[in-house]
Structure 1
Amino acid sequence: MYTPKQRLEAAKAAVAQASAVCRHVQRELESVRSMFKDDRSPVTVADFASQAVVAHVLSSHLGKVTLVAEEDDESLRQQVADGKRDLMDAVLAPVRTVWPGATAEAVLDAIGLGGAEPPPPTDPVHGFWTLDPIDGTKGFLRGEQYAVSLAWIEVGVPVLGVLGCPNLSRDFSRPFDDPDPSGSMYVAVAGEGVYELPCDNPAAPALHIRRLEPAEGEPIRMCESVESGHTSHSDSERILEKLGEPAEPARLDSQAKYAVVARGQADLYLRMPTKKGYVERIWDHAAGALIAQEAGCAVTDGLGRPLDFGQGRGLERNKGVVVAPPKLHGRVIGAIRDLGLIES
């Protein structure tokens, strides 16, 4: 059995190394694209590499782990079995920058660790990890914002979260489309607050951050995705109009949005459903939700219900996501209700 401190240090090391691997792939975007003649190939390479590194580091520090992650090893393993090694070799190259001597079989086994199923939420003993190796694929492919998101969940509740944002500057004046050379990492433990540190140096002194309510009468700055694939921008605009004069939105991809609201660079993160029946994945929100909560924000779905991470791989009991300081959050939930935007 490992202590919470050992678990935290393992998570920080895993996210830092995975972030370094993702940086390596992002620097080589064009060469990877030309190799595979596929615009999305770099994120495929980085997804596999990031997941392999996180699984390897957690296992090295903690022994056997239960990891519920976005990727699985089946397709890549089949390609290798068929004698098609181009993608495997492309994954190995960045992995070996932090895991020297990694073999194809070891990397495939590490990726495969992410195929675990979450234990029942009624199990008080067996927690599990959930990972999104690259959250914000469109941002990654544009050379902009993305995140490596890792959380430890117990009894259906995230209790540890580490969010690596390799391109996110701690300088608010730096535009989101201008990658920062060090990036930012956010680390939260339930009941202990959230801390910010350089993504490329997890041993550096950490800054405790705390979110305050926006000043009365100030325009509300919403944080939303660059594109509307995962949220309805039109619904978001209606909500803001009901709340008052909106500020220019902060548009960036990935769970970095949780961090941007937590640290006070934006006031509100809305993720409104785009289609009936859509279910969010737990790895898309677990780390970010804990980070925002520990900074002092309220985090619920669009009906004001807590996010329930105890329903398998999806947030099956939730519709949408709302993140904001508590008073503003209450006003947003009221606006959603008054506008009839989400069916209960």
Structure 2
Amino acid sequence: TLDPIDRTMRFLCREQFCIGLALIIDGNVCLGILGCPNLPVDLKKPESEKGCLFVAIKGQEETQIRLADILSLSAASFCESVVAEHSLHYDAAKIASLLGITKPPLCIDSMCKYCAVARGDVDIYLRLPVHVDYEENIW
């Protein structure tokens, strides 16, 4: 299955977008690839080289995921969608405050959020659906 451009509007604005590809055999995901053409190689250096590819193959040894060595939740960082209609930003801010997190969230769109977590750019992805009946799509 192919999600040719996740966050088409961000693509048109030359912001973060993602191209997602999955190989599904008999209902089982066997291969997943996320291509993030505008994602900086180093998020701490936004002007660094751009373009990242993330690959997962079922049954293959995973590539190391970098996680931060945080000793308390207050040291954690989180990301959320840029678009407020996709997630409850106010509630996310309340949760962050309750956890003692003081860093502002990384606002990033598309499946790039999952990539930011996987490579250790952020520790938490808060997705708080705006509608109670919201169901996530799998393409």
TM-score, normalising length: structure 2: 0.85
Give the deviation of 1:182 after TM superposition: 4.7
Contact 1:169–1:182 (8 Å) recurs in 2? yes
The Cα of 1:157 is off from its aligned counterpart by 4.1
Are 1:149 and 2:23 matched, yes or no? no
Q: Which of 186, 205, 209 is matched with 2:54 structurally?
A: 186
Residue segments in structure 1 that go unaligned for 5+ positions in a row: 1-129, 195-207, 284-344
Corresponding residue of 1:277 = 133
Secondary structure of the residue that 2:14 maps to in structure 1?
coil
Alignment of 1:1-344 (within 5 A): 130-154=1-25, 156-175=27-46, 182-194=50-62, 208-212=63-67, 214-217=69-72, 219-283=75-139
CA contact (8 A) 1:138 1:253 kept: no
1:191–1:250 Cα change, 3 Å: farther
Residues 214 and 232 of structure 1: CA distance in aligned 2, closer, same or farther (over 3 Å): farther
Deviations 1:130-189 (A, max 9, x none): 2211002232132111000011234544231000101112123232xx5x6551111111
* Cα distance in structure 2, aligned partners of 1:231 and 1:155: 32
What SS does the aligned partner of 2:104 have? coil
Q: Kindly state the Cα deviation for residue 254 of structure 1 after the two structures are TM-superposed.
A: 0.5
Q: Which residue of 2 aligns with 1:334?
A: none
- What do you get for the CA RMSD once the two structures are aligned? 2.1
C-alpha distance in structure 1 between counterparts of 2:109 and 2:16, whole Å: 6
AA of the residue aligned to 1:243: L
Contact 2:117 2:123 in 1 (8 A): yes
Counterpart amino acid of 2:42?
D
Secondary structure in 2 matching 1:259: helix
- C-alpha offsets along residues 95-117 of structure 1, whole Å, 9 cap, x if unaligned? xxxxxxxxxxxxxxxxxxxxxxx
1:238-279 Cα distance to aligned partner (Å, 9 max, x none): 221222223121111110111110000011112211113222
Report runs of 4+ in structure 1 exceeding 6 Å deviation.
Answer: none
- Which amino acid in 2 is paired with 1:260? A
Distance 1:272 1:157, change over 3 A: farther
Work out the number of aligned pairs and report it. 138
Change (3 A) 1:154 1:238: farther
Once the two structures are TM-superposed, the CA of residue 209 in structure 1 deviates from its matched residue by 3.2
Q: Which has the higher strand share?
A: 2
Equivalent AA in structure 1 for residue 137 of structure 2: R
Which protein has the larger Cα radius of gyration, Structure 1 or Structure 2?
1
Distance 1:223 1:156, change over 3 A: farther
3-state secondary structure, aligned to 2:85: coil
Higher helix share: 1
Equivalence for 1:4? none
**In structure 2, the residue corresponding to 1:258 is in which secondary structure?**
helix
Higher relative contact order (CA 8 A, sep 6+): 2
